[in-house]
Amino acid sequence: MSTHEDVLSSENLPHEPEKATLEGKNKFLGFWFFLGGETVLFASLFGTYLALRNSFGNAEGTPTQELFGLELVFIMTVILLTSSLTSVYAMYHMKNHDFKKMMVWLAITVILGASFLGLEVYEFNHYVHEYGHTFTSHAFGSAFYALVGFHGAHVAFGLCWILALMFRNAKRGLNLYNAPKFYIASLYWHFIDVVWVFIFTVVYLMGKVG
């Protein structure tokens, strides 16, 4: 039986510190289920987007073929997918109890995530000012910003989350209490990467050729 002190100690960590306590196991399983719910959330948004894509009614608007440019979106995709890889490295070092290397890789993940977000802001700004493609201009605009914006908000939340964990634990190292927290934050990060793969395919690729 573990006591408070054991949970917060960095000594003698087991092989998989993220799943060594009941709290950790609960967090791990609960978070997977939460991601199941998130999948339905994004599925509803994808469905709405597909129904309203290029749907302008009586309003003026630019169709997807002219609106999207694949170059920037491709760079964004590479950046976000790479950040998924770096978060895997971070978790690899966590399982080997190497706190410092984990923090380094998490920092790289955060930098990549932030650059993705910066490019997305640039992209939205470009659509609004060059094409007048806004949230309120027509149903397509509403559906586009709802879907891609929801994803962007998830990225922003993930960045804040990982940064909060890094600052909070910077001075005390890995333990059984914070290992599950790091682990589910990385699960979340993978999830928003997977959602982006679908956005890249359904919104941008299908928008360009469909």
Partner 1 sequence: MSTATLEKRGFGATLWDYLTTVDHKKIAILYLLGGAFFFLLGGLEAMLIRLQLMVPDNELIGAQFYNEVMTMHGTTMIFLAAMPLIFAFMNAVVPLQIGARDVAFPFLNSLGFWLFLFGGVLLNCSWFLGGAPDAGWTGYAPLSIWSPTHGVDFYAVGLQISGFGTLMGGINFIVTIVNMRAPGMTYMRMPLFTWTAFVASILILFAFPALTIGLFLMTFDRLFGANFFVPDMGGNEIIWEHIFWIFGHPEVYILVLPAFGIFSEIISTFSKKRLFGYSSMVFATVLIAFLGFMVWAHHMFTVGMGPIANSIFAIATMAIAVPTGIKIFNWLLTMWGGNIRMTTPMLWAAGFIPTFTIGGMTGVMVAVAAADFQYHDTYFVVAHFHYVIVGGVVFGLIAATHYWWPIMFGKVLDEKLGKWTFWTFFIGFHLTFFIQHFLGLIGMPRRYWKFLPGQDLETGNFISTIGALLMAVGTIILLYNVIKTTVKGEMCSQDPWDGRTLEWSIPNPTPHYNFKQLPLVRGLDPVWIEKTQGNGKVIPAEPVNDIHMPNNSFLPFMISLGLFIAGFGFIYRPDTSFGYVLIAIGLIITFGSMLIRSLKDDTGHHIHKEDLEKEGAGVE
- Which residues lie near partner 1 (CB under 8 A)? 1, 3-4, 7-8, 22, 25-26, 29-30, 33-34, 36-38, 40-41, 44-45, 47-48, 51-52, 55-59, 61, 135-136, 138-143, 146, 161, 164-165, 168, 177, 181
* Nearest to partner 1 of 45, 187 (CB atom): 45
Count of CB atoms situated within 10 Å of the CB of 91: 21
Say if residues 113 and 158 touch (Cβ distance below 8 Å).
Answer: yes
Of residues 7 and 114, the one with the C-beta less far from partner 1: 7
For residues 53 and 47, what is the distance between their CA atoms, to the nearest angstrom?
Answer: 10
CB of 26 to partner 1, least distance (A): 4
Q: How many helices (H) and strands (E) does the chain have?
A: 8, 0
Smallest gap, in angstroms, from Cβ of residue 106 to partner 1?
Answer: 15
Q: Tell me the torsion sign for CA atoms 39, 124, 113, 168.
A: negative
Distance of CA 144 to the CA centre of its chain: 18
In the complex with partner 1, the residue whose CB is nearer, 92 or 172, is 172
Give the shortest CB-176-to-partner 1 separation in angstroms. Answer: 10
